[in-house]
Amino acid sequence: DTAVSQTPKYLVTQMGNDKSIKCEQNLGHDTMYWYKQDSKKFLKIMFSYNNKELIINETVPNRFSPKSPDKAHLNLHINSLELGDSAVYFCASIAGGGGAFFGQGTRLTVV
Amino acid sequence: AQSVTQLGSHVSVSEGALVLLRCNYSSSVPPYLFWYVQYPNQGLQLLLKYTSAATLVKGINGFEAEFKKSETSFHLTKPSAHMSDAAEYFCAVTPGGGATNKLIFGTGTLLAVQP
């Protein structure tokens, strides 16, 4: 039973399109994150939600809009996709005391 | 502000040799420190964590790390490398144990294991 699951695993789309990535965790954690991993494997934090409330927004373009319908879900919607958005996006769920549990990632390719 | 620096973006060892991956941290408050491993096309998996208890931390797959405050280091070691250890390794820091604290990653070290 997957602790943090993301869908889809791969996403190929054209510039200008709008797409969403879904994330669900069954660990009962209150805090979830979105990270972006670029081609050099650098992991950059994008957003963090705690119990459905946004607590961290790392100056991400407003084309990116996270939505948390409940504390087990944190979805990422991206408008007007650009070539530079191509990356692997990871969802993570974090427990108090540290330690993040990551999803398998969504590889987004914008063509 | 917190940060971690991983020295060496690529490390190559022979199978059976000692693995040493270096991580230095910067934190204005007592940090929690982590090592994660990422296998190709997969997510990150927690190897071990330091949460202000014992300074020598043992993790999965035979890895361990020692927190040295005087050196602001948290290096990852394994006595004998296996081929299956080949992966990307990330050091990470967060200020204290709150889940809402930012988890900041280093730039990663790619470990290659030669037969």
State the best of B44, B74, B89, B101 to mutate against chain A, taking most chain A CBs within 10 Å: B44
CA distance B111 to B88: 6
User: Is residue A4 helix, strand or coil?
Assistant: strand
- Tens of pLDDT along B70-94? 999 999 999 999 999 999 999 999 8
Give yes or no for residue B10 having a pLDDT over 80.
yes
Q: Locate the chain B residue with the closest alpha carbon to A53.
A: B100
Tell whether A72 is within 8 A of chain B (Cβ): no
- With beta carbons less than 8 A apart as the criterion, state whether A74 and A34 touch: yes
Q: Which distant-in-sequence residues (6+ apart) come within 8 Å of B40 by Cβ?
A: B87
Q: Pick from B41, B43, B97: which is nearest to A102 by CB?
A: B43
Query: What pLDDT score was predicted for residue A99?
Result: 79
Tell whether A50 is within 8 A of chain B (Cβ): yes
Nearest to residue A71, comparing CAs of A34, A25, A36? A25
Interface of A with B in 86-105 (CB under 8 A): 90, 92, 94-105
User: Is residue A76 helix, strand or coil?
Assistant: strand
Measured between CA atoms, how close is A60 to chain B, in angstroms? 15
- Tens of pLDDT along A30-52? 899 999 999 999 999 999 998 88
Residue A111: which pLDDT band, with cuts at 50, 70 and 90?
Answer: very high
Task: Flag if A98 and B97 touch (Cβ within 8 Å).
Answer: yes
Tell whether A42 is within 8 A of chain B (Cβ): yes
Instruction: Please give the structure tokens belonging to residue B66.
Output: 């020692």
Give yes or no for residue A108 having a pLDDT over 80.
yes
